[in-house]
Amino acid sequence: MPKSPALDSFPLGDRRVRRLGYGAMQLAGPGVFGPPKDHAEALAVLRAVVAAGVNHIDTSDYYGPHVTNRLIREALAPYPDDLVLVTKLGAQRGADGSWNPAFSAEALTQGVHDNLRHLGLERIEVVNLRSMFGHHGPAEGSIEAPLTVLAELQQQGLIGHIGLSNVTATQIAQGRSICPIVCVQNQYNLVHRHDDALIDQLAADGIAYVPFFPLGGFNPLQSARLDAVAQRLEATPMQVALAWLLYRSPNVLLIPGTSSRAHLAQNLAVANLDLDEDTIAELDAIGRQ
């Protein structure tokens, strides 16, 4: 039986991170807006994440806005030497909670400084530029201008490495012609498989792939076949879906999020879930239904 790859690591820029990370988005209030419903629990979750050996946390200053970054600093600073914090730029929140594109040089520069200030850092290890051309997924459009701004901030020493989010293969190629790209963060899960070929290409090039909505996001995965596999393995369907992602390719880094320690423990337990070749093939077939 193949050994679970959950404890394996993969390069993220010039650092190596364990493949099972944590996404901080759910620490903010409903709609990723406003403060957490339980401030103390949010801090406890973050501390439990690091105590479990997770060394890759995904965040953004537009979560809240500013909420998750301030929580991360309160809970974890001074940060462990091996902890890699990854943030995103390309959006701003309206007073009504709306998500608005923020691609101007001024907005991106301010975004970097806001992240630095709220996280208490002098340099952000990885900054992802999130494309906002499509409302429900990647859509074509030039990313040259905003990415050039980030590349200049990188040269100033404010950014360690640059990644891309919600992008097409064409945009990734354009981005790599401007600066090194260390990761791509797109929607991908057991049933949303549009990036299959892209994942394999990025793996060949040593670039990390970070799926968001690994459990289906606002529409959780539902499959009778997944339920049957989970029952057989004495696991939850969501644990099996996460484990499948780890087996999908060695460059896949997971950032499942939660605002409760109990749910965090369930996510981290994926490290103990082994999938044999027949089970992996059975799960693969779900995406082809």
Q: Catalytic residue at 188?
A: no
User: Which amino acid, residue 166?
Assistant: N
Rg (CA), the chain: 18
pLDDT at 219 (0 to 100): 61
What's the CATH class of domain 12-220+251-259?
Answer: alpha beta
Alpha helices per DSSP H over 38-88: 39-51, 67-76
What are the domain boundaries of the chain?
12-220+251-259
pLDDT score, position 286: 87
Torsional class of 120: left (φ above 0), alpha (ψ -120 to 50), beta (otherwise): left
- Give the C-alpha separation, 110 to 106, whole Å: 6
Taking the model in full, what pTM does it have? 0.95
C-alpha 191/C-alpha 227 separation (Å) is: 14
User: How high is the pLDDT of residue 218?
Assistant: 56
pLDDT of residue 15: 96
Helix (H, G, I), strand (E, B) or coil at 17: strand
Q: What is the rounded distance in angstroms from the CA atom of residue 3 to the CA atom of residue 97?
A: 43
Q: What is the pLDDT of residue 7?
A: 67
Residue from 63, 188, 209, 247 carrying the catalytic annotation: 63
Q: Which 3 state secondary structure label does DSSP give 77?
A: coil
Tokens of 246: 């780890």
Mean pLDDT, consecutive 10-residue stretches, the chain (289 aa), reads 72 96 97 96 98 97 97 98 97 94 96 98 98 82 97 98 97 98 96 94 98 73 87 95 96 96 96 94 85
Please name the residues in contact with 284: beta carbons below 8 A apart, sequence gap of 6 or more: none
| pLDDT at position 142 | 96
